[in-house]
Amino acid sequence: MLNEIKELDKKYYMNTFGDRLPVAFERGEGMKLYADNGDVYYDFLGGIAVNAIGHCHPKFTAALKSQLDRLVHTSSLYYIENQARLAKKLVESTCADKAFFCNSGAEANEGAIKLAKMYFYKKGIDRKEIIYLDHSFHGRTLATVAATGQEHYQAPYRPLMPGFVMAEPNSFEAVEEAVTEHTAAVIIELIQGEAGVFPMDMEYAQRLREFCDEKGILLIVDEVQTGMGRCGRLFAHELYGIEPDIFTSAKALGGGVPIGAVCAKAEVAAAFEPGDHGTTFGGNPFATAAGLAVFDVIESEGLVENSAKMGELFLVRLREVMAQHPDKVTAVRGAGLLIGIEIAPEKAAAVFKGLHEHKMLTSLCKGRTIRIAPALNITKSEIELFINALCAVLEEV
């Protein structure tokens, strides 16, 4: 079956992903994914931080089946109950006052950038520039690529959309130097996931918030990967004790059903008026039913708390492994259940491949960091399965 799928993919699908890992999954349950040949894998990547409540959680699938029997899509021409209820849930659970739904993280970040520009446009103030950080990743649309600090993503699409200015991460002085009278916003990931799980310093983040307030600049926090309990709080900005003017969410928000959200303070959100922004599919009854179900599971099962507790245990165990293999594991970084394991460059690809052969699913960032982002309901025994597999691989490479 796998060979047939690979041939179909090669013949009919645009080659944007190249040769993928040699496995195709047909069902999942919790942390487990079952391949078409019967092999069982443990998903320590969580669909790239998407499957925060695990695969096929019974409450989640029941909610989606119920919604399918009733209504999938109408349009934004009409009121949508689930959309209104999910917006209420996001607002009541965070520092935001308003929410807007779209279909992905890139769309959410694009919407956040548009909102920041519109905020100053409506005030008659010439502020259009967006400061972003080196090594960041904010999406693959033309605007979010221009705001992504990674040359290999930008190079094919030059000339890039103007008005984006890059600054070094964790350098307050670099942001100060990048600011001009035309600066509208700074967009940051408080933990740069795709770059290899690099957290911003606490002092840097808090000083940046104060500086933006002083200069009248909006602070946008990209929480696409770090939100919905991933880092031991509902959103990562809570870890840093700051409140963004705008923050975005996606990935885990829909538990695998495509959805994104732009969340903002009331004054900023008011810049969007009828006709300024829109969407056909965003926030439809099915996608927002998924978001409501994810919230229900996270809250009823205490998964934010479990993320913090299991994440701390995971980091402790990984640092013990690092102490045992200092020549192979060079750093362990993260918060909650978003963790990067930096491997010596000459060993990283072999470790990633070895973990896959031991049926542990991860990703390899920047050619040297193993990224893990498992389900938030992960158990101690599942963490130990990973630790044992990692130790075995490290002995082999």
For residue 357, pLDDT beyond 90: yes
Task: Give the domain CATH number at 281.
Answer: 3.40.640.10
Q: Do 229 and 100 share a domain, yes or no?
A: yes
Strands 191-192 and 198-199, sheet pairing: antiparallel
**237 shares a domain with 111:** yes
Residues 230 and 326 in one domain: no
Same domain? For 199 and 292 the reply is yes
Element (H, E) at 83: helix 81-93
Number of domains comprising the chain: 2
Q: What are phi and psi of 342, to 5 degrees?
A: -80, 130
Rounded Cα distance, 214 and 63, in Å: 45
Does 73 share its domain with 108?
yes
pLDDT in tens, 177-198: 999 999 999 999 999 999 999 9
Q: CA 75, CA 315: separation in Å to the nearest integer?
A: 45
Average pLDDT, whole number, for the chain?
97
Among 300, 322, 344, where does a domain finish?
300
Tens digit of each residue's pLDDT (9 = 90 or more) over 234-272 = 999 999 999 999 999 999 999 999 999 999 999 999 999
The DSSP result for 222-275, as a single string, is: E-TTTTTTTTSSSSHHHHTT---SEEEE-GGGGTTS--EEEEE-HHHHTT--TT
d(CA 24, CA 37): 9
pLDDT digits (tens, 9 = 90+) for 30-59: 999 999 999 999 999 999 999 999 999 999
pLDDT at residue 1 in the model: 85
Query: Measured between alpha carbons, how far is 165 from 214 in angstroms, rounded to an integer?
Result: 20
pLDDT one-digit tens code per residue, 84-121: 999 999 999 999 999 999 999 999 999 999 999 999 99
CATH code, 377 = 3.90.1150.10
Judging by DSSP bridges, how do beta strands 183-188 and 129-133 pair with one another? parallel
Q: Does 276 share its domain with 320?
A: no
Residue numbers of the domain that contains 371 = 2-53+302-396
Q: What is the pLDDT of residue 386?
A: 98
Q: Which residues are designated catalytic?
A: 137, 222, 251
Q: What is the pLDDT of residues 331-348, one digit of tens each?
A: 999 999 999 999 999 999
